[in-house]
Amino acid sequence: MRTKEGNKEQAIFDAAVEVFAERGYHNAKISTIADRAGIATGSVYLYFNNKESIILTIFDRLWERVLAGISVTVARTDLDPQQKLNSIIDTVFDFFISNPALATVFVNEQHHLIKDGRGNVAEQYDRFLDIAEKVLHDGVKNGLFSKNVDVSLFRHFVTGGLRNMLRQWASNPTAIPLDRVRQTLKYVIIHGILRT
Amino acid sequence: MRTKEGNKEQAIFDAAVEVFAERGYHNAKISTIADRAGIATGSVYLYFNNKESIILTIFDRLWERVLAGISVTVARTDLDPQQKLNSIIDTVFDFFISNPALATVFVNEQHHLIKDGRGNVAEQYDRFLDIAEKVLHDGVKNGLFSKNVDVSLFRHFVTGGLRNMLRQWASNPTAIPLDRVRQTLKYVIIHGILRT
Amino acid sequence: MRTKEGNKEQAIFDAAVEVFAERGYHNAKISTIADRAGIATGSVYLYFNNKESIILTIFDRLWERVLAGISVTVARTDLDPQQKLNSIIDTVFDFFISNPALATVFVNEQHHLIKDGRGNVAEQYDRFLDIAEKVLHDGVKNGLFSKNVDVSLFRHFVTGGLRNMLRQWASNPTAIPLDRVRQTLKYVIIHGILRT
Amino acid sequence: MRTKEGNKEQAIFDAAVEVFAERGYHNAKISTIADRAGIATGSVYLYFNNKESIILTIFDRLWERVLAGISVTVARTDLDPQQKLNSIIDTVFDFFISNPALATVFVNEQHHLIKDGRGNVAEQYDRFLDIAEKVLHDGVKNGLFSKNVDVSLFRHFVTGGLRNMLRQWASNPTAIPLDRVRQTLKYVIIHGILRT
DNA sequence: TATGAATGAGTATTCATTCAT
DNA sequence: GATGAATGAATACTCATTCAT
């Protein structure tokens, strides 16, 4: 039989991330993804049930890794909430540094999937937000963070801001030093814009 | 008759905002928009060249009004940068309060249009960002805002965060008091999360 | 607007009967039917929801007419069961004489639709069989027909035989005089093959 | 090894009869047949050229056996035409009793193959009809059967009726005693429905 | 202007068949 | 021979856009 050369599923996955990033989910053709992966169109369906399951798999793995990463951090007892917040930001940044196209797909397509309740995207995103909210709550409780901030709204503010800065960076990864993005983000979350 | 024409274009515009908000741009059908506007499908094309021009017009008018609103504010000499920042936020909020569906379309569809360089969306968004950046710069210059913040990145952070909080609010306008959203936003931009 | 010229639904219906007869349902392409009907492919979907609904409509109308025809006959009190049987046969024959292609579709495709329980085909066919069975029962009751015949099986025998003779005729309508088919059918149903 | 090959071909054959009976020829997948036969998909093509050749082989063997069976009967000089007719019916019945799924395939798929002139199906069916016709002719000639029956049409009537009764029986073999089917068939062919 | 029937390009998906191992 | 992964041709259906009335 013809044996699997390399990992075709991964090739399709990678090609799909690229094509979804370039054209958007709705304008991406399966045939283009197959071409990019170096296989025949029909072979895509040996590894994925349909077009949607490809993007759902992308988000599934994305959140799986991010959640795994931050779960370790938030469980640590030797870090205060501010350090945990910094660590969460680092995890997300590090993840997307390794794949700008994935960052693009993430910022562009997630809300469609959540809006229509497809797959586990909404659930995983909620888990992420809940973890972040817990860190914020802890910070408020121990007096580190201000009581004037509604943490359940703040988490949306931060993720939205984070996403938009990532989009900016992903649209042209070489133009903006990612560390500058990261430092700006950490600073403004903690101190806001006012001079201290 | 001019009045009638004006009414029909507006009817299509309003119907399109509703339908785009409900189904998303790609899943919205011209025939649905026409139905909602109370006209025949073909009549849509008497007022708009094609589907895309409808959403481009939506964003054009959106930004036109927002930019008109904040331009007045930033030109004033009796306001300091922090007050101007607050006023910009108020302008955006007030605009979307009057039309939650428009807020939904804004947060969900803008990036597709910018990404593909359609219409003037990117240009107008840039103008908005530039205005905001100038206010921030002025604040840094006169010592009100911190020098640790990269203002050209910060503006992306703020708009992303603003957009995401609006999405949250627009998804269920009655669940979250908009003033709480507004106050949280203003506070965290100025002070960050740290207790002062 | 472009008004309907002629009856497009009927044109599609007629074209579908032809194409289904020539190629069989599974090998018939919507585009071929549209071509034959002199319209664009997409226009087919203005009149029918999908391919299957076309053939279901064909059978619906077929049985509707046949059932309407024989219902009148069996309700008459001035005919004995044998005369009613003859009349039922005439109705079916007359119906298919007017459209050999329809006869072909009928004999070739009905069982697939019944087997998969699509539409009302099975129900209408059952109604037909029930009507025929009632006539047979009446004949047995009044001593005209033999008690040695299981009428609920006999009706299947007759319809199968009828269908096969029609198939033969429809495959080459000019080769066999239909009246000879009709007379043979009537005779053997009544007398069997034995010399009387 | 011949034996092994023979077993596999038979396994495919048997699996195909089952699957064709369950799903119909067009909806039957080669992969399903291979699964059912306990072999790999590709191995099917070591024994059959393509999907169609499988069903053609099914009909080939079916008719081969039926024709072999009835040929013996019709050659006998100690039987009159009525006895020969009964014997032909018995041969067909006995053949299908041993394999209801084969009966289902026979009644459902034969006409597609004949219609398109595939394989030898039409020829073998014609041979069968000719043999039956000869028996009928002999009966007419020696005064046993009626001259009012067109024997070349009657044979179509009988085979169609036979097929339809078999379909009925095959759809639910336990519901109808096959001997009742057989007796009804023999009776009506000989005597028709009229009380004698 | 206004209509809405008609158009036809565009694409996800299936599955019989092939072939490298 | 046997495998089953890989192939890619084939096609129903959608919907933005057009245009005859």
Asked if the model's pLDDT at residue C2 lies above 80, the reply is: no
CA–CA dist D145, B49 (Å, integer):
80
Which pLDDT score, from 0 to 100, does residue C72 have? 93
- Assess whether pLDDT exceeds 50 at residue D110: yes
Inter-residue contact C132 to C124 (CB < 8 Å): no
Least confident of A41-50, A118-127, C136-145, D1-10: D1-10
List, in order, residues 6 or more apart from B14 with CB less than 8 Å away.
B37
A3-20 per-residue burial string, b: 16 or more CB within 10 A, e: under 16 = eeeeebeebbbbbbbbbb
Q: What pLDDT digit, counting tens, does each position of C154-190 carry?
A: 999 999 999 889 888 887 888 888 888 999 999 999 9
CB contacts < 8 A (C, D): 155
Contact B111 A167 (CB under 8 A): yes
Between A50-64, B88-102, C127-141, the lowest mean confidence (pLDDT) is in B88-102
Question: Does residue D170 have a pLDDT over 90?
Answer: no
pLDDT at C60: 95
What is the arithmetic mean of pLDDT over B134-157? 92
Q: What is the mean pLDDT of residues B128-146?
A: 93
pLDDT tier, D4 (very low <50, low <70, confident <90, very high otherwise):
very low
Give the distance, in angstroms, between residue A63 CA and nucleotide F2 C1'.
42
CA proximity to C171, closest of C105, C81, C110: C105
pLDDT for residue D1: 39
Distance from CA of D49 to the nearest CA of C (A): 21
> Residue D40's pLDDT band (boundaries 50, 70, 90)?
very high
SS3 helix, strand, coil % of chain D, rounded to 5? 75, 0, 20
Instruction: Answer for C45: CB within 7 Å of strand F.
Output: yes
Per-residue pLDDT, averaged over C105-126, amounts to 89
Mean pLDDT of B81-108: 90
- Give residue B174's pLDDT: 86
For the cut 50, the answer to whether the pLDDT of residue A19 exceeds it is: yes
Q: Is the confidence at residue B135, as pLDDT, over 90? A: yes
| C-beta of residue D161 within 8 angstroms of C-beta of residue C167 | no
How high does pLDDT run on average in chain D? 90
What one-character-per-residue DSSP string does C52-72 give? HHHHHHHHHHHHHHHHHHHHH
Q: Is A112 on the interface with B (CB under 8 A)?
A: yes
Strand partners, D145: C194
Distance from CA of A7 to the nearest CA of B (A): 31
Average pLDDT, chain B: 90
Q: List chain D residues with CB under 8 Å of C154.
A: 184, 188, 193
Least confident of A42-46, A110-114, C31-35: A110-114
Residue B88 pLDDT level (bands cut at 50, 70, 90):
very high
Helices (H), chain A: 8-23, 30-37, 44-47, 51-75, 81-97, 100-115, 121-141, 151-171, 178-191
Angle of CA points C143, C148, C154, to nearest 5°: 95
What pLDDT is recorded for position B5? 52
Residue nearest to nucleotide F11 (CA to C1'): C29
Q: How many helices (H) and strands (E) does chain C have?
A: 9, 0
Taking the alpha carbons at both ends of chain B, their separation in whole angstroms is: 61
Asked whether residue C23, judged by its CB, lies under 7 Å from any atom of the DNA or RNA strand F, the reply is: no
- Bases of chain F within 7 A of a CB of the protein: 1-21
**C1 or D187, which is more confident?**
D187
**What is the average pLDDT across D106-123?**
84
Split at pLDDT 50, 70, 90, the class of B153 is very high
Average pLDDT over residues B162-183: 86
The residue that leads in pLDDT, B138 or D110, is B138
Q: What kind and span of H or E run contains D143?
A: none
20-59 in D: which are within 8 Å (CB) of C? 24, 26
